[in-house]
């Protein structure tokens, strides 16, 4: 399953080395637009069929007096051949020279929508077939809508049966224009529209001689250009607890890392509940060595330093980047149940290993999945999509879908059977209806973290901005609200009236701390980069920001190193006397005596510096935790 | 294929299987793992030990048709000790008394009487609500339609036309009334993955898979209906090299699959694994 995240852009560049990870690709499209024929042909043309399969199917066809069709290769179940429709999601393995694939052949018949969902939810990319003669049909639209809902973003459209329209480019163009416009309304974009004739293998693996006007890739070329699902190891840790094992003297917290990575020594917080402990060991069998890190997708067996209460359903994260915790959120749901989804009825909501009772508090919008038109109704019929407010009886730990898809989606269950799924669009504070001023706790609940100020001080050229930018990138990619307050930027705006005298420097520090305070009040993590050479000025800034988590980062490099770097050419100017009162040359720099973080940029890399800063931020926020938990 | 890429691939499969084991154990009251002693079920034992940090916290079940190869009985006793297994063995004594056997009956009948019937009886006796099986999607076309968690009715039937949706790692969390759920941690594995994992982890496995006199077993069942295939592969490295090149099906040596065009489907709808 591809997971969308602002920080993980989809790359469609060709992998430079042979790629051995199996890619899951879903094949969808309107019934009878040729999916099974296409997959059968693909298997045949990539030489992926077992020995004798072709002959066996041909023989069976002869016995039953039917003409051979490539689709029969797939129709392993007799029922399918009788009805001429595919009934369930099947996985078929094949490989190109580039890599291995599992093709998920999803059904086209609309009553089997759930199988389509099952298939598409595990795919990293999709192929959607449109019959060149029939054109865009309701399921062509419906399937694309579901792909967008399930988060499958890599899409290639195959305009099939080109042989039935005399391989005419004009027919192909018409479909491209019509269907791209539709995809655009869903926020989807097809990487290619490939004209094919699956039955004859044209543009499947081999290039079609009958369509010389087509200069783009064949299907296998397009497949090989798909990127793998994102590696979520760079995201904040999300470790849902699957179980607690007490088979012997050990007490092991078991779970799969769904995002991020975990290491022995990590501080953890378990939400909902908010209890904290530290990872003592991984209990890997058979040993004797255990892993030093468990990344995304890995199953972890964790013992904790403290005997805290932990149960299945809780989500372990690092204290500085926790999931939200709440009982109410807005969601977009697809509903597959035979009975309609109705408000105020109790369902089970399953989000990772959490399983709680939930009701639909409000239906905001119902959409027909094929026409995408709004439906006016007080319940949600089968096979439609809706936007609703979900309210749970107990608090749930979650992320918004666009921040971390895997913790931002859930299934709805009734009588032990899954009937629908949804993605979380927006957290709703239970205090939202209250009047009065918005509290910092409400802001923190919305952003999912406490605000903070990180103050980077150091000589010009010491590396303040470089480190702050890298820290900003990491926090931003982790879904945090982060903003930089840069001294140089302030000089040309807010501080345009200030020079470099001691009084002006003090005023500049005062203004910067004021700006940082406003940003922090609004729920942000503010990164201030300012030389701020005098200890007294910095002490005042710290005092002014006492309401917030404050991390002073001393970015330290010897003067000669900074001068050698001289990125902006300022040291040279100062030496020539063109700049008066230049810190380090003609004006003093008072190094902080006890900064929270001290980075020697002549000795550590930017990456190491970022880790130091984030670790300190974790530590400070851990102490603040109780103040802002919902 | 580079060793690292291969290890990443196997590790990914392994970690997913461990997750499936753990979710089954957390969701179901009473779990059991049928054990054929074949390569797939030996991988399952290994994965279960990894999932539960050393000791499998539920029983294993061997349905003994009395037609196992002698080497398999030896292997069973050895592996039981190595893996510290809580093993239940069941034989359909009644069918044996009635003279059901390969000498007199067709393979589908024998398989049903000596495997499926005692299997269902054991489920009734122990009231398991989850059974862990070694089914892989690449084995047989009908198996391609399985889910990680596949419900079976009280009669053991598989309603493959009305399966629950399975997405975003959410599995069926309860068994149908009176029925059970088949939990299938090896669903995404291929035969080659199994062998490469056996090699990587050095997992105990019967030697019948290796060639003697130019023939080896690729899949193991009852000895009267399980035939070796021509192969010079006499050790695990050679088996892996052979599999990389082969295009014949794994179960080609298993007679009960080939009686009728639809025999596998029939067997499976009746509750065969």
DSSP A30: S
Q: Do residues B228 and B241 both lie within one domain?
A: yes
Top-confidence range, A265-274, A428-437, B238-247: A265-274
* Record: contact B167-A122, CB cut-off 8 A: yes
Q: Do residues B179 and B224 both lie within one domain?
A: no
Which three-class secondary structure state does DSSP give residue B106?
coil
Mean pLDDT, range A348-363, rounded to an integer? 94
Reference A483, options A523, A541, A449, A442; nearest CA is: A523
User: Half-sphere exposure of residue B97, counting CA atoms within 13 Å on the CB side?
Assistant: 4
Q: Does residue A56 carry a pLDDT above 90?
A: no
B256 falls in which pLDDT band (50, 70, 90)? low
Q: Which residue has the higher pLDDT, A105 or A451?
A: A451
* Record: contact A299-B166, CB cut-off 8 A: no
Q: What percent of chain B has pLDDT over 70?
A: 82
Q: Do residues B102 and B149 both lie within one domain?
A: yes
Task: Check if B157 contacts A (Cβ < 8 Å).
Answer: no
What local confidence, expressed as pLDDT, does residue A21 receive? Answer: 62
Reference A104, options A29, A189, A19, A161; nearest CA is: A29
Asked whether this chain's domains A23-224 and A329-427 adopt the same fold, the reply is no
List the 183-202 stretch of B: residues with Cβ below 8 A of A: 188, 190
Note the pLDDT tens digit of each residue in B133-179. Answer: 998 877 765 665 678 888 887 776 666 666 667 778 788 777 878 88
Top-confidence range, A134-148, A610-624, B93-107: B93-107
| Sign of the torsion angle spanned by Cα atoms A514, A519, A524, A525 | negative
Q: Which residue has the higher pLDDT, A120 or A346?
A: A346
Pairing, β B229-230 against β A125-131: unpaired
Identify whether B96 is part of a domain: yes
Q: Nearest-CA residue of chain B relative to A116? A: B165
Which three-class secondary structure state does DSSP give residue A540?
helix
What local confidence, expressed as pLDDT, does residue A5 receive? Answer: 28
What local confidence, expressed as pLDDT, does residue B251 receive? Answer: 61
Task: Check if B53 contacts A (Cβ < 8 Å).
Answer: yes
Q: Does residue B259 carry a pLDDT above 50?
A: no
* Ranges A346-350, A418-422, A620-624, B51-55: which has the least confidence: A620-624
Q: Does residue A370 carry a pLDDT above 80?
A: no
Task: Check if A413 contacts B (Cβ < 8 Å).
Answer: yes
Task: Check if B245 contacts A (Cβ < 8 Å).
Answer: no
Mean pLDDT, range B190-202, rounded to an integer? 95
Query: Which one of B7, B27, B29, B53 would you mutate to disrupt binding with A, by most A Cβ within 10 Å of its Cβ?
Result: B53
Average pLDDT, chain B: 86
What local confidence, expressed as pLDDT, does residue A339 receive? Answer: 92
Integer Cα distance of A487 and A512 in angstroms: 8
Integer Cα distance of B162 and B146 in angstroms: 12
What local confidence, expressed as pLDDT, does residue B6 receive? Answer: 57
* Record: contact B169-A352, CB cut-off 8 A: yes
What local confidence, expressed as pLDDT, does residue B17 receive? Answer: 96
Q: Does residue A57 carry a pLDDT above 60?
A: yes
B265 falls in which pLDDT band (50, 70, 90)? low
Task: Check if B99 contacts A (Cβ < 8 Å).
Answer: no
* Ranges A1-5, A336-340, B50-54, B103-107: which has the least confidence: A1-5
Q: Does residue A91 carry a pLDDT above 70?
A: no
Cβ atoms of B272 and B111 closer than 8 Å: yes
Q: Do residues B124 and B233 both lie within one domain?
A: no
Note the pLDDT tens digit of each residue in A72-90. Answer: 776 643 343 333 334 445 6
Among partner residues A21, A299, A353, which is closest to B9 by beta-carbon distance? A21
Mean pLDDT, range A192-221, rounded to an integer? 95
Among partner residues A91, A255, A418, which is closest to B170 by beta-carbon distance? A418
Q: In chain A, what are the domain boundaries?
A: 23-224, 232-317, 329-427, 442-628
Average pLDDT, chain A: 85
Q: Do residues B21 and B150 both lie within one domain?
A: yes
Distance from CA of B96 to the nearest CA of A (A): 33
Note the pLDDT tens digit of each residue in A234-245. Answer: 789 999 999 999
A497 falls in which pLDDT band (50, 70, 90)? very high
Integer Cα distance of A389 and A341 in angstroms: 13
Q: Give the CATH number, domain containing residue B185.
A: 3.40.50.620
Mean pLDDT, range A567-584, rounded to an integer? 88
Q: Nearest-CA residue of chain A relative to B49? A: A285
Identify whether B78 is part of a domain: yes
Integer Cα distance of B65 and B58 in angstroms: 23
Q: Nearest-CA residue of chain A relative to B166? A: A118
A385 falls in which pLDDT band (50, 70, 90)? confident
Identify whether B116 is part of a domain: yes
A-B contacts (CB, under 8 Å): 141
Q: Does residue A12 carry a pLDDT above 50?
A: no
A533 falls in which pLDDT band (50, 70, 90)? very high
Distance from CA of B53 to the nearest CA of A (A): 5
Q: At what angle do helices B39-51 and B191-201 cross, to 10 degrees?
A: 60
- Reported pTM: 0.67
Q: Does residue A627 carry a pLDDT above 50?
A: no
Integer Cα distance of A144 and A161 in angstroms: 20
What local confidence, expressed as pLDDT, does residue B236 receive? Answer: 96
What local confidence, expressed as pLDDT, does residue A504 receive? Answer: 92
Q: Do residues B37 and B99 both lie within one domain?
A: yes
Q: Does residue B257 carry a pLDDT above 60?
A: no
Mean pLDDT, range A523-539, rounded to an integer? 94
Identify whether B197 is part of a domain: no
- The CATH number of domain A23-224, selected from 3.90.1570.10, 3.40.50.970, 3.40.50.300, 3.40.630.10: 3.40.50.300
Q: Do residues B104 and B236 both lie within one domain?
A: no
Identify whether B200 is part of a domain: no
Q: Do residues B212 and B131 both lie within one domain?
A: no
Mean pLDDT, range A298-320, rounded to an integer? 93
Q: Which residue has the higher pLDDT, A115 or A554?
A: A554
A27 falls in which pLDDT band (50, 70, 90)? confident
Q: Which residue has the higher pLDDT, A280 or B2?
A: A280
Q: Where are the beta strands (DSSP E) in A347-408?
A: 347-351, 354-368, 374-375, 384-398
Q: Which residues in B lie closer than 8 A to residue A255 (C-beta atoms)?
A: 22
Q: What percent of chain A has pLDDT over 70?
A: 87
Quick count: other Cβ atoms within 10 Å of Cβ B261?
12
* Record: contact B164-A417, CB cut-off 8 A: yes
A319 falls in which pLDDT band (50, 70, 90)? very high
Burial class (CB in 10 A: 0-12, 13-18, 19+), A309: exposed
List the 189-228 stretch of A: residues with Cβ below 8 A of B: none
Q: Which residues in A lie closer than 8 A to residue B165 (C-beta atoms)?
A: 114-115, 117-118, 336, 418, 421
Q: Which residue has the higher pLDDT, A143 or B117?
A: B117
Mean pLDDT, range B80-90, rounded to an integer? 96
Which three-class secondary structure state does DSSP give residue B142?
helix
Q: Does residue B47 carry a pLDDT above 70?
A: yes
List the 281-320 stretch of A: residues with Cβ below 8 A of B: 283-286, 297-299, 301, 312
Identify whether B102 is part of a domain: yes
Q: Which residue has the higher pLDDT, B158 or A512?
A: A512
What local confidence, expressed as pLDDT, does residue B261 receive? Answer: 42
What is the ipTM for the molecules in this complex? 0.88
* Ranges A576-580, B53-57, B190-194: which has the least confidence: A576-580
Q: Tell me how many domains chain B contains.
A: 2
Task: Check if A352 contacts B (Cβ < 8 Å).
Answer: yes
Q: Which residues in A lie closer than 8 A to residue B18 (C-beta atoms)?
A: 256, 299
Q: Domain A329-427 belongs to what topology?
A: Elongation Factor Tu (Ef-tu); domain 3 (2.40.30)
What local confidence, expressed as pLDDT, does residue A106 receive? Answer: 57
Return the structure tokens found at A206.
């081999």
What local confidence, expressed as pLDDT, does residue A483 receive? Answer: 95
Mean pLDDT, range B178-185, rounded to an integer? 91
Mean pLDDT, range A284-308, rounded to an integer? 92
Reference A128, options A91, A159, A172; nearest CA is: A159
Q: Do residues B23 and B148 both lie within one domain?
A: yes
Give φ, ψ of A392 to 5 degrees. -105, 155
Q: Do residues B91 and B213 both lie within one domain?
A: no
What local confidence, expressed as pLDDT, does residue A31 receive? Answer: 79
Q: Do residues B57 and B136 both lie within one domain?
A: yes
What local confidence, expressed as pLDDT, does residue B196 receive? Answer: 95
Mean pLDDT, range A435-441, rounded to an integer? 71
Q: Nearest-CA residue of chain A relative to B265? A: A77
Q: Does residue B104 carry a pLDDT above 80?
A: yes
Note the pLDDT tens digit of each residue in A223-278. Answer: 998 876 656 777 899 999 999 999 988 999 999 999 999 999 999 999 998 889 99
Q: Nearest-CA residue of chain A relative to B145? A: A90
The architecture of the domain spanning A442-628 is 3-Layer(aba) Sandwich (3.40)
Q: Does residue A217 carry a pLDDT above 50?
A: yes
Q: Nearest-CA residue of chain A relative to B187? A: A91
What local confidence, expressed as pLDDT, does residue A292 receive? Answer: 93
Transcribe A235-279 into DSSP letters.
Answer: SPPBEEEEEEE-SSS--EEEEE--BS-B-TT-EEEEETTTEEEEE
What local confidence, expressed as pLDDT, does residue A52 receive? Answer: 72
What local confidence, expressed as pLDDT, does residue A4 receive? Answer: 28
Domain that holds residue B150: 3-190+257-269
* Record: contact A79-B161, CB cut-off 8 A: yes
What local confidence, expressed as pLDDT, does residue B266 receive? Answer: 56
List the 159-188 stretch of A: residues with Cβ below 8 A of B: none
Mean pLDDT, range A360-384, rounded to an integer? 85
The architecture of the domain spanning A232-317 is Beta Barrel (2.40)
Among partner residues A88, A114, A121, which is closest to B145 by beta-carbon distance? A88
């Amino acid at each position: 399953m591809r997971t969308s995240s602002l920080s993980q852009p989809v790359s469609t560049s060709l992998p430079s080395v042979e790629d051995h990870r199996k890619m899951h690709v879903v094949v969808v499209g309107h019934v009878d637009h040729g999916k099974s024929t296409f997959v059968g042909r693909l298997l045949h043309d990539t030489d992926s069929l077992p020995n004798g399969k072709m002959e066996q199917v041909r023989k069976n066809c002869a016995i039953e007096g039917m003409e051979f069709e490539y689709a029969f290769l797939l129709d392993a179940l007799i029922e399918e051949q009788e009805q001429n429709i595919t009934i369930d999601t099947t996985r078929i393995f094949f490989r190109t020279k580039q890599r291995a694939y599992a093709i998920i052949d999803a059904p086209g018949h609309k009553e089997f929508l759930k199988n389509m969902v099952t298939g598409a939810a595990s795919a990293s990319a999709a192929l959607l077939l449109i019959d060149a003669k029939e054109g865009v049909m309701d399921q062509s639209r419906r399937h694309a809508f579901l792909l967008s809902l399930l988060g499958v973003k890599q899409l290639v459209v195959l305009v099939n049966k080109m042989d039935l329209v005399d391989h005419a480019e004009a027919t192909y163009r018409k479909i491209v224009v019509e269907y791209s416009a539709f995809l655009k309304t869903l926020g989807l974009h097809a990487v290619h529209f490939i004209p094919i004739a699956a039955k004859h293998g044209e543009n499947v693996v081999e290039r079609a001689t009958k369509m010389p006007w087509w200069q783009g890739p064949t299907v296998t070329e397009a497949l090989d250009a798909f990127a793998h699902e994102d590696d979520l190891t760079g995201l904040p840790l999300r470790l849902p607890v699957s179980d607690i094992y007490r088979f012997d003297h050990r007490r092991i917290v078991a779970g799969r890392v769904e995002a991020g990575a975990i290491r022995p020594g990590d501080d953890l917080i378990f939400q909902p509940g908010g209890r904290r402990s530290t990872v003592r060991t991984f209990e890997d069998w058979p040993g004797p060595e255990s892993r030093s890190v468990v990344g995304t997708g890995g199953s972890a067996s964790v013992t904790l330093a403290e005997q805290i209460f932990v149960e299945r359903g809780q989500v372990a994260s690092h204290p500085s980047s926790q999931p939200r915790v709440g009982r109410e959120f807005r969601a977009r749901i697809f509903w597959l149940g035979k009975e309609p989804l109705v408000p105020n009825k109790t369902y089970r909501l399953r989000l990772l290993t959490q399983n709680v009772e939930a009701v639909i508090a409000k239906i905001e919008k119902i959409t027909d999945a094929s026409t995408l038109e709004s439906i006016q109704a007080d319940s949600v019929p089968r096979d439609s999509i809706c936007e609703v407010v979900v309210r749970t009886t107990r608090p749930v730990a979650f992320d918004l879908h666009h921040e971390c898809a895997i913790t931002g989606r859930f299934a709805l269950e009734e009588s032990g059977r899954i009937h629908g799924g949804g993605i979380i669009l927006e957290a709703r504070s239970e205090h939202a209806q209250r009047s009065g001023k918005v509290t910092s706790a409400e802001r923190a609940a919305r952003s999912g973290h406490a605000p903070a100020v990180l103050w980077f001080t150091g000589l010009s050229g010491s590396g303040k901005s470089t480190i702050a930018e890298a820290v900003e990138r990491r926090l931003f990619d982790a879904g945090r609200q982060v903003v930089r307050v840069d001294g140089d930027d302030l000089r040309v705006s807010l501080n345009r009236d200030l020079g470099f005298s001691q009084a002006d420097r003090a005023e500049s520090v005062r203004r910067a701390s004021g700006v940082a305070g406003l940003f922090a009040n609004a729920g942000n993590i503010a990164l201030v980069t300012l030389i701020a050479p005098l200890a007294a000025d910095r002490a005042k800034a710290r005092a002014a920001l006492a309401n917030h988590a404050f991390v002073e980062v001393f970015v330290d490099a010897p003067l000669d190193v900074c001068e050698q770097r001289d990125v902006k050419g300022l040291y040279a100017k100062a030496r020539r006397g063109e700049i008066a009162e230049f810190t380090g040359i003609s004006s003093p720099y008072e190094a902080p005596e006890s900064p929270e973080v001290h980075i020697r940029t002549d000795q550590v890399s930017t990456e190491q510096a970022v880790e130091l800063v984030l670790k300190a931020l974790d530590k400070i926020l851990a102490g603040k935790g109780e103040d802002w938990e919902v | 294929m580079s060793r690292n890429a291969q290890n990443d691939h196997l590790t990914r499969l392994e970690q997913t299987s461990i997750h499936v084991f753990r979710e089954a154990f957390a969701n179901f009251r009473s779990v059991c793992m049928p054990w054929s002693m074949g390569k797939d079920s030996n991988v399952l034992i290994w994965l279960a030990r990894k999932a539960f940090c050393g000791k499998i916290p539920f029983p294993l079940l061997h349905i003994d048709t009395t037609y196992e190869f002698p080497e398999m009985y030896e292997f069973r006793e050895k592996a039981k000790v190595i893996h510290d297994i809580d093993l239940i063995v069941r034989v359909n004594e009644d069918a044996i008394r009635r003279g059901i056997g390969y000498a007199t009956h067709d393979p589908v009948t024998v398989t049903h009487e000596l495997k499926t019937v005692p299997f269902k009886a054991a489920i009734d006796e122990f009231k398991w609500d989850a059974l862990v099986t070694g089914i892989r999607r690449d084995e047989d076309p009908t198996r391609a339609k399985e889910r990680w968690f596949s419900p079976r009715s009280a009669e053991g039937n598989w309603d493959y036309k009305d399966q629950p949706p399975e997405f975003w790692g959410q599995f069926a969390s309860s068994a149908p009334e009176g029925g059970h759920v088949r939990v299938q941690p090896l669903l995404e594995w291929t035969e080659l993955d199994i062998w490469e994992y056996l090699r990587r982890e050095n997992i105990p496995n019967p030697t019948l898979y290796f060639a003697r006199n130019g023939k080896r077993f690729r899949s193991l069942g009852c000895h009267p209906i399980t035939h070796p295939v021509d192969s010079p592969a006499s050790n695990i490295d050679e088996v892996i090299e052979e599999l990389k090149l082969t295009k014949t099906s794994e179960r080609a040596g298993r007679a009960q699959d080939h009686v009728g065009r639809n025999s596998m489907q029939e067997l499976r709808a009746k509750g065969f694994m």
